[in-house]
Amino acid sequence: MSSDALLSLHKVSRSFQSGMETIRVLDEVDLVLQPRQRLAIMGASGSGKSTLLHLSAGMDRPDSGSIVLAGQTLERLAEPDLTRFRARQIGLVFQDFNLIDSLTVFDNIALVPWLTKTKSSTKAILDLGEELGIGALMGRFPAQLSGGEKQRVAIARALIHRPALILADEPTGSLDPDSADTVLDLFDQSVRSLDCAVLMVTHNQHAASRMDKTLYLSHGRLAAGA
């Protein structure tokens, strides 16, 4: 395992109980993500892609194995410390956007710096909005936005605190092809300008092809494609 990796999973396993049956979703998974790397994880529905992403974010705990992000072993952190660490180091992008309906676009983006007590000026938020093509939407509410616009807001919220890692769960799943390509362009741009890395789970072969590398999750194990 590379000592300069941004994210590493070593022999990570996770099981869930379904009635009397124990389902082993991840089986001693190893994964290494380097700084500035863009990595896609593909697999069938129910293969454990989202579970892997949640574990990488510290939103779930493994049954066994070790997860290290930015030099910090996640399973050693108490929950309050883990929450603060995750908020500072990770930008999360979800297919369903997870915007707060009662907040404007500006306030949805500003929420992360406020919660993490990181510095982010009004100008930085407005500049990022312009960069992402949502500068004219800052006073609108999520209900007034298209799907592509909502996803751009979600990406702005994920980037505003300059995270080390972007974790994206089917970020293009609800978008038309042009909006999807725009989102992928923004990930490329983020890697270049913020020195961050991207870990994306997707069903979309085109989205995966835009990453540096694609791994396939099947029967609890990761493997490279043919």
Residue 172 or residue 58, greater confidence: 58
Positive or negative, the CA dihedral 133, 147, 187, 196 is positive
**Structure confidence by residue, pLDDT tens digits, 133-148:** 899 999 999 999 988 8
Residue 88 or residue 12, greater confidence: 12
Query: Does position 2 have pLDDT exceeding 70, yes or no?
Result: no
pLDDT at 145: 94
The phi-psi region of residue 193 (left if phi > 0; otherwise alpha if psi is between -120 and 50; otherwise beta) is alpha
pLDDT at 226: 47
Architecture of domain 35-59+79-224: 3-Layer(aba) Sandwich (3.40)
CA distance linking residue 166 with residue 92, whole number of Å: 6
Where are the chain's structural domains? 35-59+79-224
Q: What residues form DSSP beta bridges with 165?
A: 90, 197
Radius of gyration of the chain (CA): 17
Do residues 175 and 110 lie in contact, with contact meaning Cβ atoms separated by under 8 Å?
Answer: no
Query: Would the pTM of this model clear 0.95, i.e. be above it?
Result: no
Q: Which whole-number Å values give the CA distances from 101 to 58, 111, 144, 149, 226, in the listed order?
A: 26, 13, 10, 14, 43
Query: Does position 167 have pLDDT exceeding 80, yes or no?
Result: yes
Residue percentage of the chain with pLDDT more than 70: 96
Residue 200 or residue 187, greater confidence: 200
Query: Does position 16 have pLDDT exceeding 90, yes or no?
Result: yes
CA distance linking residue 152 with residue 136, whole number of Å: 12
**Structure confidence by residue, pLDDT tens digits, 213-224:** 999 999 999 998
pLDDT at 1: 46
**Structure confidence by residue, pLDDT tens digits, 48-99:** 999 999 999 999 999 999 999 999 999 999 999 998 899 889 999 987 888 9
Residue 211 or residue 181, greater confidence: 211
pLDDT at 140: 97
